[in-house]
Structure 1
Amino acid sequence: MPADYRVESILVADCGSTMTKSAVVDLVEGQYRLVTQVEVPSTVEAPWEDVSQGVEHAVAQIERASGRILFDEQGLLITPERAGGQGVDAFVITTSAVPPLRIVLAGLVQGLSLASARRAARSIYADVVEVIALDDVTERRSEEERVRLIQQARPDVICIVGGTDGGATTALADLARVVTLACSLLEEEKRPVVIFAGNADMRLEVAQIIGEEAHLKVVDNVRPTLDVENLSPLREEIETIHSERKMAGLPGLAVLNAWNPQAIMTTAQAQSRVIEYLARKYGPQKGVLGVDIGGATTVVTVQLDGLTQQIIRTDLGTSYSVERVLDQVEMDDILRWVPFSIEEGEARNLLLNKSLRPTTLPATHETLLLEQALAREALRLALTEARETWPVGQASPYPHLSPMFEPIVGSGGVLSCAPRPGQAALILLDAIQPIGVSTLVLDRRGFVAAMGAMASVNPLAAVQAASLGGLVNLGTVIAPVGQGREGEIALRLKVEELHLEMDVPYGSLEVYRLPASEPLTLQVRPQRHFDVGWGPGRGRKIQFSGGSVGLIIDARGRPLTLPPDRDRRQAKVQEWLWGMGA
C-alpha cells in the first residue's frame, strides 16, 4: 500500500451473540458519514455455526440497499476501493460472540487474593465457574471433593492465587497438588492451562509440583502485599489465552481474517477506546460511563480520575443469559419495575422464552416491559460489582452513590431497539441512578464498537461518523442529591432563550421537550438541601440541548426508593413511563 494512501471508505461489522451489524462509512462532501447500515441475525449458533455467514448476509444487504458492489467474482471483499466505486478501502470487525473462558479460581482467602483474581477475570470475556477457597469454613471439602469439583467444572484455565510475596507456602503447595491431581485425571487435550499468580517465593515449588501434568504460566502476584493489588499481569495472561483458545477457534473467523489485515477486536476492547476518547474530549472533572446490555453479556466501562476500568459479565444478558440472571435476582426485584400485576411463574416463563428464541421481538407491551425490567436488574448487578474498584475522587462527592458522569453512553439491543427513546432513557436512569448534571447518549445503531475499531484505521472517520448519526443525544439529566418531603420544591429552573421557568418538586420525574437543534442556556437553582454537583443550594448556568427525549429532571431521590405498597409502586412506575413518553 502506498505511503500516501488514504483510507476514505470503511466497511465495519460487529458480530454479537444475537445480531450482526454492518455498515459503510464514507467521505461525503468533505465529512465522514454513516451511509448504509443493516442488522441481521448472527450465525454463531447451529445450524450455521459460522460467524462469517452472518457478516456475508449483512454485506449482501448493504450491496442491495446501496447499489455498491463490495465482493469480487470470487466472493472476496474488494479492497482498496476501485476507481468505479466498487469495494472499500478498509474493513474492521469486532465481536462479542466468542465463547467465554471457563475459569476455576483456587486460592487461600476469599476477600483478598481470590477477590483480586475475580476482578482480573471479570475484565475479560471469562466465566468464573467455580471457586475453591481454603478459608471457606462453610464448605469443608476434602481433597477428593475438590478434585471432583475441578473435573466437573471443565475449566479452560485454573488460576492459583494466594499468599503475599514471602508469605504463606504450605497451603499453596497443598492447593497446587490438588490442581495437579485434577489435571492428571483429565484427558490430555482437555487439560486446562494453570496460571500461578501467588506468592513469588513459591514459583519454583509450584512448577515442580505441577510438572508435566498441565501447561503452567507464571505471572506476578495479584496481591504482593496486603494493601497492594496488581491485576495487570494476570489480566493480560488470561486475555492472551482467550485470544488463543477461544477467539482463534471461532467458526468462520478464518474467512473474515482473509478480508481484514487488522487484528479482530472484541467488542469490549473497542468500546473501551471510545470511552477513553470521550474522557479526553469532556475533561477530567467528571467520569465517563459506557454500558452495553447484550443478549449474553453486560459490559460496564468507566473512566474515572484518568483510570479506565471495565467489567465484563458473561452471565448477565437479556436473551441467552436470562436464566443466569434469574438465578441471581429475586423475581420481586424484576417485577417492581413493571406497572401491572403478574404471577411470578408466568413472568419467569415469559422471560425464559427469550433465551429459547433470542432474536424474537416482544409479542406484547407487557413482555416488552418485563424484558426492560430484567435489563435494569442485569445492569444493576454489573454496576454493583464494578463500583467496588472505582476510585473515589472529585467525580464522587457522595461515595455511597454513583459518581458524576458526562456523558453516559448506553448500548445493546434492549436499549437501541426500545420502541421509544424515553424507554431507553428510563432504563439507564433506574439502573445507574446518576447524580448531578449528565448527558444520556444512546448507541441507537450499535455503532460504538465500530467507532472504536475504526479509530485504528482512520480516527477522524470514527469521530465524524459517530457525531453525524452514529450516536443519539437522548437529553440532559439533572438529578439532585438530597432528602425532602414529597411535593416540596427541590429545584427552580429557567430556560433563558425561551423565557420558560419551572419549579420541580421532590419525588418527581419531569421531562421538558425542548428544541434539540440549538444549544440553550439553563439557570439551575437548587434549594438549600439539594446538590446538583456544585454544593448544597448552589446554582449555576449551563449550556444544554434538548435531545430526543428532552430535558430530564430526576428529583426522585438518591438512592432511588420505590414505594413498598404494590399498588402505589405500580402507579408510580406507570407515571414515570408516561412522563418519559414511554
Structure 2
Amino acid sequence: MVQPETQSILLADIGHSRTHLGLVERVEGVYRLAARTETPSVGDPLPDLAASLKAGLEQLQSLAGRPLLSPDGAPLTPRTRFRGIDRLALTSSGAPPVRCGIIGLTEDLSLQQARQVCSNYGTDVMAEVALAWDRPIRHAALASLCALEPQLIVLAGGVDGGPERPMVEAATVLAALYRSVTPERRPELVMAGNQRAGGGVHKALQGVLACHCVANILPALGTAAMEGLVQALSQQAEGQLALLPGYREVSSWAGSAILTSDAGTGIIQRFVAQQADLGAAVLGLDVGAYGTRALRHTGRHETGRALAPGLIDGQDLFLDPDRLTQLCRWLPSTQLEASAATLLRNRALRPRALPETTNERAVLLAATRLLLAQASAALPPLPAQDQVIMLRGGPFSATAGPGAMLLALLDGVEPRGVNRLFVDQWSLWPTLGALAQQLPTAALQVLQQDCLCELGTLCSLSGKGISGEPALRYTIRQDGDLREGILNWGELLRLALGPSPAMLELVPEGGATVEGYPGGSPIEIALAAGTRQLILDGRGRPLTLPTDDRERHEELERWQACCR
C-alpha cells in the first residue's frame, strides 16, 4: 500500500527555559514554515516534555487557525482536511548531564584525553582516578568514586598491545565494590583503552557492571581516536532524555526516539559545511542555559568541539571578582557597572525568567560575549576565509534581536578575514536536524527558505591604527550601481544589499590587513545573491577597549547603535 504524502509536520525543541515550535506545511510540492511560536517550558527543575509540548501546541493552533490538539491533550495525527498534523520531529536540551567518573592509566595522557572528550560532550565529571597512583591511594580513590554514584565510568589508558594488568585489576576492584550495590544504582562502564585488555575487563565485570568496549582513544603515542568514545557519550546523553517527565508520552506521539538538541544542531551544521556555495568550514556556536558549545565542521567531519558554561549555570561564575570586572568592561555606563552584581544575584533567584529590563539585557549580552570568547578560544585557529559562522541560543535569542546577536558574536569570537554569518532566529535548527533523519528533503527546503537567517557577510580588519583615521576603502558594484566609501579605524559599518549578486573591492590602508588575502593589492570578493548586508569591522584584531572609562562607554554606545 502506498503511504500518503506528508503534508504537515510539527517541529518542537524543548529546553530548560523555553519551548520552540514550528508548523511546516507542504504547499505546491514545497515544504515551508507556516507558523511558529515560543512558550515557557513547563516544569521545575526539569522540563516536563509532554506538558511543555501541550502548552506550546495550544498557542500554535491559535496561530495556525486549525485544531492541532486532541481532547486528551495529544497532538492530532494524522492530518485530516482542517485538523491535525502528519508527523512530529522532536528534540530537547532539558536533560541533566550524565554523572561520570574517569579512570585512566596516567594523569598526563589517559586522564587528560578522556577528560577533554567527556567535558566537551556535556558530562558532569565527578571524579578521576589514575591507575599509576600508589595502590592504597588508588583503591581509596576507586571507593570514593563509587560512593559518588556516577551513571557512567570511562576506563581509558594504554596504547593498543600494551600491558593489560592495570586495566584488568581496576575492573576487578570495581566489581568487588559494586557487588553490594543494588543493580539500579550501578553505572555502565565504557572501556576506551588498550584493546588487548578489553576481554579481561569484560570478564572481571561480568554479572556486575554492563561493559561496552569502544576504540582506544590513544591507540598509539601521538595518535588520538575519539570517535568511539564520542558515540558512546552521545548515546548516554540521549538516554538521559528518558529521565525527563513526560518522555514516554512524547515518544509515543512521535513514534521514534527523541534527539538531543546538540545532536540535531550538529546535523544541520554538517549539512551547511558540505555546501560548496557557503564555505569550506563551519564554526557553530550555541549559547544555552546550561552550556555554551562551539563546534567546528569541515565537510562532513567534526574537527573541533569545546564547552563553556551557559547563561544559567554560569551566573555564579560571573560574581567572581575577576570575571565580574571582565563583564563590566562591556557595559556602556558607570551606573550599569555598579548594578551588575545585584542584577546577576537577582537573576540567580529566578534563573529561567526572561530579562525584563534594558539593564538586564545589557548584562546578559555582556555575559554572552565572555561565554562565546571562552568556548571559541578552546578550538584550533579558524581559517580567515571560506568560513561560515552559525550562532544560536534559546535564552539569548528570546530577548535579543539579530543586531544584538551580531554584536555579541563580533566581540566574543573576534572573527578574522571574511566570513558569512547565520543565526537561528527561531531556534529551530535542532529539530530540523531531527527531521532530516526522517524527511531530508523537507528539512532542507525549510532550512534554506525559512530558517537559515543570514546576518550578512563580515569583513574584519587586523592590525591597529589611529581611531578616526582611514583604514579601508571599499567599492560595491551591484545591478549596475556603484557605491564607494571609507571605513575608519574603530568603526563598525553595516551596508544593506539588494537581492542580486554583488562584487566587493577592498583596499586596506593605514596598516590594516584582511587576513587570508595578500597585502599590497586590491581585494575582490564576490557576494552571493541574497546576501542581506555587508558588515565592515574596523576595530582591529585583537579587539581592545579604551582604558579611559568615558571613552570606553562612548565606544560601546557607538557599536551598539550600529547594530540596532
Same fold (TM over 0.5): yes
Q: Distance in 1 between matches of 2:19 and 2:423?
A: 18
Q: CA deviation at 1:280?
A: 2.1
The 3-state SS of whatever aligns with 1:23 is strand
1:345 to 1:556, Cα distance in 2 relative to 1, 3 A? closer
Q: Distance in 2 between matches of 1:74 and 1:542?
A: 55
Matched, 1:229 2:228: no
Q: Distance in 1 between matches of 2:338 and 2:190?
A: 43
Q: 2:186 aligns with which of 175, 181, 191?
A: 191
* Aligned match of 2:103: 106
Between the two proteins, what is the percent identity of the paired residues? 28
The 3-state SS of whatever aligns with 2:274 is helix
Whether contact under 8 Å (2:36, 2:60) holds in the other structure is yes
Write the deviation string for residues 85-143 of structure 1: whole angstroms up to 9, x where unpaired.
21112111111112211111121334422233234324544222333346799xx9934
Q: CA deviation at 1:553?
A: 1.0
If the length of structure 1 is used for normalisation, what is the TM-score? 0.86
Give the residue type in structure 1 aligned to 2:34: V
In the TM superposition, 1:111-126 aligns within 5 A as 111-122=108-119, 124-126=121-123
* Aligned match of 1:333: 326
Q: Distance in 2 between matches of 1:267 and 1:489?
A: 44
In the TM superposition, 1:346-357 aligns within 5 A as 347-357=340-350
1:154 to 1:334, Cα distance in 2 relative to 1, 3 A? farther
Q: Distance in 2 between matches of 1:437 and 1:103?
A: 40
* Aligned match of 2:561: 578
Q: CA deviation at 1:406?
A: 3.6
Q: 1:256 aligns with which of 246, 250, 253?
A: 250
The 3-state SS of whatever aligns with 1:363 is coil
Q: 2:364 aligns with which of 363, 371, 377?
A: 371
Q: Which deviates more, 337-346 or 291-300? A: 337-346
The 3-state SS of whatever aligns with 2:409 is helix
* Aligned match of 1:383: 376
In the TM superposition, 1:73-152 aligns within 5 A as 73-82=71-80, 84-122=81-119, 124-133=121-130, 142-143=137-138, 145-147=140-142, 149-151=144-146
1:562 to 1:20, Cα distance in 2 relative to 1, 3 A? same
Whether contact under 8 Å (1:198, 1:222) holds in the other structure is yes
Q: 1:462 aligns with which of 443, 452, 477?
A: 443
Q: Which deviates more, 426-435 or 274-283? A: 274-283
* Aligned match of 1:56: 54
Q: Which stretches in structure 2 are left out of the alignment for 5+ residues?
A: none
Q: Distance in 2 between matches of 1:204 and 1:543?
A: 57
Whether contact under 8 Å (1:123, 1:310) holds in the other structure is no
Q: Which stretches in structure 1 are left out of the alignment for 5+ residues?
A: 391-398
Matched, 1:360 2:353: yes
* Aligned match of 1:68: 66
Q: CA deviation at 1:418?
A: 4.0
Aligned residue pair count: 560
Q: CA deviation at 1:429?
A: 1.0
In the TM superposition, 1:301-340 aligns within 5 A as 301-304=295-298, 306-309=300-303, 311=305, 313=307, 316-323=309-316, 330-340=323-333
* Aligned match of 1:501: 484
* Aligned match of 1:156: 151
Q: CA deviation at 1:157?
A: 0.8
Q: CA deviation at 1:312?
A: 6.6
Give the residue type in structure 1 aligned to 2:349: L
* Aligned match of 1:266: 260
* Aligned match of 1:422: 403
* Aligned match of 2:508: 526
Whether contact under 8 Å (1:483, 1:530) holds in the other structure is no
Whether contact under 8 Å (2:17, 2:395) holds in the other structure is no
The 3-state SS of whatever aligns with 2:374 is helix
* Aligned match of 2:434: 453
Write the deviation string for residues 218-237 of structure 1: whole angstroms up to 9, x where unpaired.
22211010121111222222
Give the residue type in structure 2 aligned to 1:382: A
Whether contact under 8 Å (1:295, 1:320) holds in the other structure is yes
1:509 to 1:449, Cα distance in 2 relative to 1, 3 A? farther
If the length of structure 2 is used for normalisation, what is the TM-score? 0.89
* Aligned match of 1:28: 27
In the TM superposition, 1:432-447 aligns within 5 A as 432-447=413-428
1:557 to 1:545, Cα distance in 2 relative to 1, 3 A? farther
Whether contact under 8 Å (1:405, 1:434) holds in the other structure is no
* Aligned match of 1:543: 527
The 3-state SS of whatever aligns with 2:327 is helix
